[in-house]
Structure 1
C-alpha cells in the first residue's frame, strides 16, 4: 500500500468544508499529470490491400489547466495481431503541437483481427503498459460488425479495507456516499480529491458505521475525471474511486451540407460550426473522413476522440461511453455507476509513483538496432560505432552508439522522414580518430521501438455480405483490392543502349552502366558552379523548374517524358493547398538525387560545389531510374559522384549501405475530379473511403468549411469529424448524405 505524507496535504491543500471554503494557496502542482493519445482512422475496418489513413492527437492533462498539446515530438505507432501480439508494422509519427499524420498500406497483411497501438514517451514513463488501442478488422469483401466482450460492466460495489465510496446525483447535486463497515476500526480519515495531479479537495472526516453522505460542488472541478481517495492517520490510502464531472460541458459540433441528396461525382460543400457550452465559437483542428455506410460498419458504441480523451485513456480498457457522453438524461449518473468498480491510471495511488516533472523525450525518435561481425555473430559489447545517415529529405546525420549485450545498440534523438541510407564503421581509436573498414549491410539491422502487446476486449465479426453489397459492387471491390492478380506476363527481351559520354574517359561502377547520360567534370574548369548551374542545358530533354541559385528551395528537375505527369500532380497539389491540407513538400516529385549512390535531399545537392564533383550520371528513363532508385525513381534520377579528396578516405559501395525507417512520411489522399457517373465497371471508383483530410480547422468564431468530390457509388455516405479545440476540448460529429443517380 502506497505511503503518502498526511501533513503535506494538510499544509498545502485548501479546506473545502461542507458549507464554506477557506482560501489558501495550492501546493505547487506537477507540470504534467497525465498524457492522452487518440488515433482517428478513416474507418474501423478494411479490405485486403487497403490503406489505413491516420490522424494522431497527443494531449497532456496539465495540473489546474486541463488538456494542452503534448510537448512530445514523437508518437510510436504499431499494428499488431490481436491474438498473438505479433507486430506487422511499426513506425514513429512526427508530432507538431500535439498532432501528426500517417498512413499504413496493408499490402500483404492477411485477413484477421488487429489492434492499432500508439504510445508517447510520457505514457511509457507513466506505465509501460499504458497504450492507446484501436481495434482494426481486415477482411475479404463484405460488411463487418463490432462485437464487444460479454463481460458485464455492472458489478456490486466492493469494500476496500472495510470502506467503499459511492456516488449519487440528485437534482444536479453531486454526493459522495462513504460506507464504513464494522471491519474498519478507524473512524477518522482524510478525503482527498485530485484532478490532473492537482489537489482540488480536502476534508477531514469522522465516519460513523454505515452510510455517510457528503455534498460536492462540481464548480470546484474541471470538466472530466477526478480521483477521490481516503487516507488514514498513518498516511496510507485505504479506498479510492474516480468520479466524472460535467458531461454537459462537451462542445457541440454542427455539420451541414449545401444539399442532402447528391449525384455520383458531384461536389459536396460542407460547413462546420463548433460552439462551447455557453454558445461561443471555438477554434479547433479537425480530421475528416467520408465513408460508404454500406461497405463500412460504424457502430454507435465505437470509441471516438470524446470518449477516449474524457474517460477511456485513464481507465485502460474499452467501455461503451459514446451515447452517455452526448447529452442523454441521467448520463452523469450512468457513467459514474460504470466507474464505481474502476481505478483510473491517474488515481492517487498511481500518481504518487510518479516524479514531480516528466522528462520529455528529445527532439527526435529512438531507433534500436543490432550489429553483427562478418561471421554473423553478435558484435562484442563495448564496441563503439559511428553512423552516417543520408535521409531522403534533409541533410546527412552523424550519430554514434556503444554496442551492448547481444550486439544491440540504440540511437536517440534521430530526426528524419521516410527511409535513410546508413553507412557504419567501428571506432578503433577514439582519441586518434582511427576507424575500421566500413561494415557491410548484412551486419546491421534496425527496428523501431516495440510497444506492449494488445489487451483490447473488443473484436470484429463478419456479417452476411449479400445484405449490403450487390454483385457489381462486390466485383468492383475485389478488382480494386486484387490488382496484383491482373498482371499479364509478357515475353521479355533485352535492349542494350550505350550511354552518352561527354569529356574525358570515365571510371565505371555498377550504377554507371544504367546511366543514359554521363557528364565527366574536368577538374578546375567549373569551380564557381553549383550542380544545378552545371547540368542546365547539358542534358537533352531535361527541364529545370525553379531558381538554380536558391539553396533553401532548390529547383525541381524533370525530363521530357515525365513532365506531363507534373502538370496533373500540381493541379491536385493546388487543390490540397487551397483547402488547407498542410504540407505537401516535393509533391511534384521530379527526378530524385543520389550522392555516390545514396538517396539525398535536393537541398544538400544545391550546396555541393563542382570542385567536389567528379562525374554526374543521369537516368532519364524508367528502367534506368528504377534500377538505381527503386519506385522513387519513376520520374528520373541523377547520381553525383564525388571526388575523393583524401586518398586514404574510406570508400563504400552499395553492399555497405543499410536502410533505416524514420518518421512516417505522410502523403495526401488521392483527389477525385467532378463530372459524370462512370458506368464502365473497369473504370469506376467505388472505394469505401471517399475522402480523407487531416488538416482542417475552424476559426475563432467556430466556423470552418471544406469540399470534396464523390466517387461513383450510389449509397448513403457518412461524414465523420473528429478534433480538438485550441482550449483542449475533444469534438466529434457524424453527418449523413444520400447519393443516387
Structure 2
C-alpha cells in the first residue's frame, strides 16, 4: 500500500519518503526543479540551525527529591548536544543555582565538565527556610538561546532537626525540637498559602486545536489542559457551548488535567467552555477562534506508525509538503496535493525516527508553514539497568554487593557511564524527572511538565495516550520557522566556556560603552598573576583561564586608550531568576515521606552533636553590649564647640558641590562668587574682619581651591568654628575654621564597598570540586571510624559507575544503623546517546 493516498477523489500523487537528510538530497532529482529547491531549502535550513546554534541539553541526577535543611544535595551532571544526544564536548563549565519561591538565588555552584560529565554537591544551610525550591543548571553557551532551555527541577526542603541539649542526650531529635520543627513547618506553609491567596492567579485552563488551526466545516481535535498557579494539574470535566448556549461537546480529563475531544465548528460561530469540577467551576473559557479557511493536520500514533490526515477548507488547495524531523535529523519529507474536499493521508513508520519528539510541519508549495504537530516515537526504550543486591535483606553494618548490568531492548550488553544513588524510599519519587524524560521529552517542550518520569516508568497504551495529550497541549520551543527559513543566524552574545571566567563591560560615566579600553587583572593569592586585555567596540571583556577549587580574589583596573580612569566596570550578573510560582510544601505529606523526613532530621541532630562533641552545650544566652565608637583622629578640637552640617540630612546635596550646600545655611558664613572663582568669609564676635578662614580637608590644611567642584555626596559632614572656638589653631584660625570630613576618610568607612573610578575588587568562587561521599567500612580489617556514621537518608552515592564491554559492574558498600526500605536508582548514558535507567530496592532490618 502506498504511503500517501487520497480517501476521496483519489488520483495518483507524487511522493517522497526518506530515512534521513542525505537520502532526501539524493532523491530531490526525482521531483521538478522548483520542488527540489523548496525541499532542499527546508532540509538545509534545519541542518544549518543546529550546526550554528549547537544547542546543549543538561541534566542533573540527584540522590533524592526531598531534603531537610542542613543536608547535602549530591549531583551528577550530564550535558549532551541537543541534536543527537551525544555527550557534549563544547562547554567545560556548568552553572547550578538554587532559587527560592521569592525568585532569589540562595546558592550557586560551578561544576567542571569533562566530556560532558561533571559531579558536585550543594550543601543546604540548616537555616534555609522550608519550601519548594527551583534547581537550575545551564552553560554559558545556552544563554544565547533562552532561559526556557535551562534545566530546572523542583526540590522540596523541609525543616531540620535539632539535637537535645546535654551530655546524656539520646541519638534522636528532642521532643521540644520536633515541636519547634512542626511549628516552623506550619508557619512556613501558612505564610506560603497566604502569599498565594494574595498574588496567585485563578486556575489556568487552555484549549488547543490540533495543528494550530480550528477550521470551520472540518472535524477538529481540540485538546485541553488545566493547571493551578504553580503548574500543578487538577482533573477537569465540562461542556462546550456555541454562541446560542447550545451544548456541542462534553469533555473529561484523562490524566494530569489533560484530554481531548472532537468538534466540527461552524463558520462565524464562537465557542466557550464551562466546568463542573473544582477549582475551575466558576470559570468560562473561550475556545480558539474559528477560521473560515485553513488546513487541519491530524496525527494518530499507533504502535508502529503515525497515521496522518490533512484537509483544507475555504481555499482552492494546492501542493503541500510534509516534514518530520527530530532534532537535527530530518527523518521524513513528502510532497502531495490537496484540492477541494480531498483528504490527504500518509502512514509514516516510526522506525524512520530515533526515540523522542517528532516535529511534523505542514508547508505549502512555496515552503511556508501552515500547521505543526508534535508526536512521540518510542522505538527503543531506555537502556535497562538491572540492580541486583547479593541477598534479599541486610542488617546494620553489613556489606552490600550490588551487581549492575546494562542491556538494550534485545538483551545485548552495553557499556555505559552511570551514577547510582541508594536513598530512603520515602524521599524518592519514581515519576520524578529522569535522564530519559529530560533528553527525549522535556528538553524541547515549553513550560513545566509535571512528573515527566510517569511517561517512561511503565509504558502502556494508556500512558502513550496521556503522552500524546501532553504533546497536544505543550508548546514546541526549540526554534521558530520564520527566522530559520529566512537564514537568520542565531544570536551568539555569549561564547563557549572552557574555564571559569569573568565577563563584563566597561562604561563611561554617562553609561555609554568605552571601546578599546585596557583592563588590567591583578591576582595576589594564591599565585601572583598580572595581565591586560582590551575591550571590544562595545566595551565588553572576557577574562578566562581561571579555575581551581578556591575562591579567587583579584583587582580589575580600567583605563581608556588615552589613559583616563574615570570609568565604571560592570560585571555580568548572570541570567535573571525565573519568575515562576512554586507550590508550598504539602500540609499532609505521605506517611512514607514523613518517616523519611524524621530520619533526615535525626541525621541532622546526630551531625550537629558530632560537631559539638568537644564543647559544652549551653541553653539560650542573651548578650548585650554597646558598640565602641572609634575616635576620629582627623579632629583635634572638641566636637561640641562646632556648628555641624550633616550632609546625610540635606536632600539637595545630591548634584551639588559642598560650597553650594554651605551657602546660606550657617549664620555668619558668606559664600560669594562662582566656582572656581569663589570667596568664603566667616563673621563672628571675635573673628577678624576680612581674614579668610582656615580650610581643613580630613584634618589637612588646604586652599579654598581644593573645595571647588567638590561633590557634596562625597562629604560626610562640615564643621564650622568661629572666634574663640578656633583658638586651638592659633593665628591660622583667626578668620574661623571650615573643617570638611569626607566619607572615605572616616575611620569607620568600609573600603570593601569603595567603588573607586576604574577599579573593582572581585571575589569569584572556584569550581565545586566533588568530595567523597562518606560511606565507612565495617568488619574485620576495616579502619577505625574517624567520625560517627550518621547516614540515615542517603545510604550510598557513586557518581562514576562504568560498566565494561559486558555491560556489568559490581559495587560494594555497607549499611548504617538506619533501618527500612531504600531505593537503588541508576541513571546514565551510553556512547550512542541512549539514556539508561534502572531501579531496585534494598531492605535493612
Change (3 A) 1:668 1:179: farther
Count of aligned pairs between the two proteins: 543
Could you tell me the TM-score, scaled by structure 1's length?
Answer: 0.63
**Residue 219 (structure 2) aligns with:** none
| Pairing partner for 1:276 from 408, 411, 414 | 408
| Residue 91 of structure 1: how far off its partner (Å) | 3.2
Deviations 1:173-202 (A, max 9, x none): 32123343x355534321111222233322
Number of the residue aligned with 2:197: none
1:620-659 to 2 correspondences below 5 Å: 658-659=762-763
After superposition, give the CA deviation of every residue in 1:241-300 in whole Å (9 maximum; x if it has no partner).
122112543211111111120111111111111112232211111111111224x1x223
Query: Displacement of 1:212 after TM fit?
Result: 3.6
What's the RMSD between the two structures over aligned residues? 4.5
Q: Does 1:98 align with 2:230?
A: no
Deviations 1:392-443 (A, max 9, x none): 5x884745465999xx975343430323443325355879xx9999x9xxx9
CA distance in 2: counterparts of 1:391 and 1:236, whole angstroms: 59
| Matched residue, 1:301 | 431
Q: Output aligned runs, 1:88-167, within 5 Å.
A: 88-107=106-125, 108-140=127-159, 148-150=232-234, 152-156=257-261, 162-167=294-299
2:727 aligned with 1:709 = no
Q: 1-side partners of 2:108 and 2:491: how far apart?
A: 25
1:723 is the counterpart of 2:822: no
Higher relative contact order (CA 8 A, sep 6+): 1
- Closer, same or farther: CA 211–321 of 1 in aligned 2, 3 Å: farther
1:322 corresponds to: 453
Inter-partner Cα distance in structure 2 for 1:136 and 1:724? 23
Aligned partner of 1:540 in structure 2 is: none
In structure 2, runs of 5+ residues without a counterpart are 1-20, 31-35, 161-180, 190-229, 235-255, 263-287, 619-758, 781-786
SS of 1:340's equivalent in the other structure is helix
- CA shift, 1:171, in A, is 5.6
Taking a change above 3 Å as real, the CA distance of residues 707 and 470 of structure 1, as seen in their structure-2 partners, is closer
* Distance in 2 between residues matched to 1:178 and 1:336, nearest whole Å: 18
Q: What is the deviation of 1:686?
A: 4.2
Q: Give 2:578's match in structure 1, choosing from 447, 453, 459.
A: 453
SS of the aligned residue for 1:325 comes to helix
Quick one: distance in 1 between partners of 2:107 and 2:154? 15
Residues 390 and 396, structure 1, Cα contact 8 Å, conserved in 2? yes
Q: Per the alignment, do residues 184 and 285 of structure 1 end up closer, same or farther by CA in structure 2, a change over 3 Å counting?
A: farther
Q: Distance in 2 between matches of 1:122 and 1:686?
A: 38
Rounded to whole Å, the distance in 1 between the matches of 2:87 and 2:315 is: 41
Q: Match for residue 367 of structure 2?
A: 235
Note the C-alpha offset of 1:69. Answer: 2.6
3-state SS in 2 of match to 1:243:
strand
Task: Identify the residue that residue 74 of structure 1 maps to in structure 2.
Answer: 93
| 1:135 CA drift (Å) | 0.5
Residues 424-476 of structure 1: per-residue CA shift (max 9 Å, x gap): 25355879xx9999x9xxx9997763354164777642535876439995773
Q: Whole-Å Cα distance in 1 between the matches of residues 294 and 574 of structure 2? A: 43
Per-residue displacement from partner, 1:103-146 (whole Å, max 9, x unpaired)?
A: 11112322111100011234322324321111011111599999
1:324 match: secondary structure: helix
1:289 touches 1:721 (CA, 8 Å); kept in 2? yes
Which string of whole-angstrom CA distances, capped at 9 and with x for unpartnered residues, describes residues 351-400 of structure 1?
A: 82786789760422443569999xxx9999636431123675x8847454
Partner of 1:463: 588
Q: TM-score, normalising length from structure 2?
A: 0.56
Report the CA distance between 1:690 and its aligned residue.
Answer: 1.5
Aligned to 1:48: 69
Do the aligned residues in 2 keep the contact of 1:246 with 1:332 (CA within 8 Å)?
no
Equivalent position to 2:330, from 188, 194, 199: 199
Cα deviation code 1:74-117 (max 9, x no counterpart): 22221111x32111122332211111112111123221111000
Q: 1:364 aligns with which of 491, 499, 524?
A: 499
- Give 1 or 2 for the bigger CA radius of gyration: 2
SS class of match (1:352): helix
Deviation (angstroms), 1:38: 0.6
Say whether residues 1:732 and 2:751 are aligned partners.
no
By how many angstroms is 1:148 displaced? 3.6
Query: 1-side partners of 2:534 and 2:102: how far apart?
Result: 32
Distance 1:701 1:398, change over 3 A: farther
Q: CA deviation at 1:691?
A: 1.3
